[in-house]
Structure 1
Amino acid sequence: MNIILKIQRFNPDTDKEPYFQEFSVEVDPNDRLLDGLMKVKQFQDGSLCFRKSCAHGVCGSDGMRINGSDGLACKTLVKDVAGKDGEVVTVEPLAHLPVQRDLIVDQTDFFEKYRAVKPFLISDTESEGKERVQSQDERMVFDDTTNCILCASCYSACPVLDDEPAFIGPAAIVQAYRFLADSRDSGTRERFDVLDTPNGVWPCENHFKCTKACPRSIMITKRINQTKQMIKKDKG
């Protein structure tokens, strides 16, 4: 089948504003959208810029907006976004992050917020042996959050960031919860200092857009609300 990829383009060296360019591409309905983008770059316009790496939904590199929804180009099948010949599929860069070129965004702010919650194990006790052992039940409390690949799809989908760009965002909160809920971790106070602020966990309004956008099926909104409950319990 033949589809039209309507891609947002922007080259800061030559363009004052972003614009859309359309490419006619021959694809199979079971192809990934990433396959279509690769055909454009290889055979029609080598200047098209986008990130990609593993192409299997593991690295999180090719996050973008596809027909207004956020996700990974490598996990989006053509048949899920185009049902017939000649259908237009609109592709844009992730929202809430500055566009560097075409579909590539500057993720500096996203990762600064991520690092602010100290997304690593903090422990004030010595481990017994080579590992800090925990039970399967203890692990399952936060298991889904370990699937995060930092693709920023949830960050782009979050409507709170439209009006509050300083909001720390869903990905950072989920990674904070991953360690707050870890039986081996003792970094609660350091993370609460970041989360219990006007730009921390409280701006979340339970839109569930982040949960719907997540390509790894993480229960993001639930984990955010659990983090809020942790803070409230801590305050007594």
Structure 2
Amino acid sequence: MAIDIEAARRTPPKVIMLRVRRYDPEAKRVWWQEYKVETHRGMTVLDALLKVKEEQDHTLVLRYSCRMGLCGSCGMVINGTPRLACQAQISEVASEANPVITVEPLYNFPVIRDLVTDFTDFFNKHKSVKPYLIRKDREEQENPKGQYDMSPDEYFQIYQYTNCIYCGLCYAACPVVAADPEFLGPQALMYAFRFVNDVRDEGWAERLLIVDTEHGCHRCHFAASCSAVCPKAVDPAGAIQMLRSKLFKYRMGLYKRRVSKIIGPPPEKGERVPLPPEAETLPGVDLKKMEQEPVVIKLPEE
């Protein structure tokens, strides 16, 4: 999902109301709880939730890690849209006219507690498409004697799909997953296409048969909601349509593609080239003195 840069640049409302959907598994209780939070410029929804946890309610449970949109841990539904909380700026999802932000756990996932969901089924479906390189020669696969040849164009065909961070937003946004819990889902099908399209892989026929089922790629209705919410622009909806095309050609006996060969061992590392003397590299600079002095960075006043 593209970040609204203009909205992110705006000054957020001074005070927001976080309306959080909570769940207590021991009491089997679901309820909405509201928290008032003072904001600052650049604050994200994740920042606001952590501020609530630290200052108001330590019982609030959520999952997070990197805080920069790389790990995919903080996926949740914000104002009705699956998003990464660390990428959702307060100024983007709230305003002075409407300072209320609704936060829910990801749809289509069992809820463990509050905003934490269970990804077991998600990863089981991911594993079911065999998301790894398969070679007919098992010895070669386990103990390769070199690297496989792959042109830049061939790598470009799969690069986009290697950016998946397993955040589950596509799965939460998919209406077919909501209607059919057995559906493999956009993430697993996208990964199947990623390896079917990889010239280093020889298990493409096996993988195509895995997705050619009642709950496989034919079940996709191409709502494209998965691609709309993807924080890495992976476009699983497009991948599923191309996977269908390859499956049709395979069933018609028309699908063929190149399989890369081993091109020999990787080049050995050469000896390190010694660095030039410090005085020649940084004339007039005493690095030891710099290491002892504290670094002070002056920030511009708002």
Question: 1:139 & 1:98 partners in 2: Cα distance?
Answer: 36
What is the Cα deviation at residue 57 of structure 1?
0.8
CA-CA distance at 1:129 after TM superposition: 4.7
Amino acid at match of 1:103: L
Q: Corresponding residue for 1:201? A: 217
Q: Equivalents in 2 of 1:219, 1:163: separation in Å?
A: 21
Partner of 2:114: 102
| Distance of 2:68 and 2:109 partners within structure 1 | 24
- 1:55 and 2:67 correspond: yes
Instruction: Map 1:51-130 to 2 at 5 A.
Output: 51-84=63-96, 87-125=99-137, 126=140, 129-130=145-146
**1:215 counterpart (201, 211, 231):** 231
Q: Distance in 1 between matches of 2:183 and 2:16?
A: 37
Q: What displacement does 1:188 show?
A: 1.2
Q: In the TM superposition, what whole-angstrom CA distance separates every residue of 1:177-210 from its partner, at most 9, and x where no partner exists?
A: 1111001101112212220000011111111100
The alignment partner of 1:141 has SS state of helix
TM-fit CA distance, 1:133: 2.6
- 181, 199, 206: which one aligns with 1:183: 199
Q: Secondary structure at the match of 1:182?
A: coil
Amino acid at match of 1:175: Y
* Residue equivalent to 1:154: 170
Paired-residue identity, %: 40
Q: How far did residue 221 of structure 1 move?
A: 0.9
Distance 2:93 2:41 in 1: 9
Q: Report SS of the residue matched to 1:48.
A: coil
Aligned with residue 160 of structure 2, among 129, 144, 147: 144
- The alignment yields a C-alpha RMSD, in angstroms, of 1.4
- Whole-angstrom CA distance in 2 between matches of 1:190 and 1:57: 34
Runs ≥4 residues deviating over 6 A: none
Deviation at 1:216, TM superposition (A): 0.5
The aligned residue for residue 234 of structure 1 is: 250
CA distance in 1, matches of 2:97, 2:90: 11
Deviation at 1:130, TM superposition (A): 2.9
Q: Specify the code of the residue in structure 2 equivalent to 1:174.
A: M
- Opposite residue 200 of structure 1, the aligned amino acid is G
Question: TM-score, normalised on structure 2?
Answer: 0.75
Number of aligned residue pairs? 235
- TM-score normalised to structure 1 length: 0.96
Which letter does structure 1 place at the counterpart of 2:62? F
1:28 shift after superposition? 2.0
Quick one: which amino acid aligns to residue 99 of structure 1?
A: V
**Which runs of 5 or more residues in structure 1 are unaligned?**
none
Flag the structure with larger Rg: 2
**Out of 2, 5, 11, which is 2:24 matched to?**
11
Q: What CA distance in whole angstroms lies between the structure 1 residues aligned with 2:154 and 2:136? A: 19
The whole-number CA distance in structure 1 between the counterparts of 2:214 and 2:120 is: 21
SS of residue paired to 1:89:
strand
Which letter maps to 1:43?
A: E
Partner of 1:225: 241
CA contact (8 A) 2:196 2:208 kept: no
**Structure 2 regions of 5+ residues with no counterpart?**
1-13, 253-302
Q: Aligned with 1:151: secondary structure?
A: coil
Counterpart amino acid of residue 21 in structure 1: Q
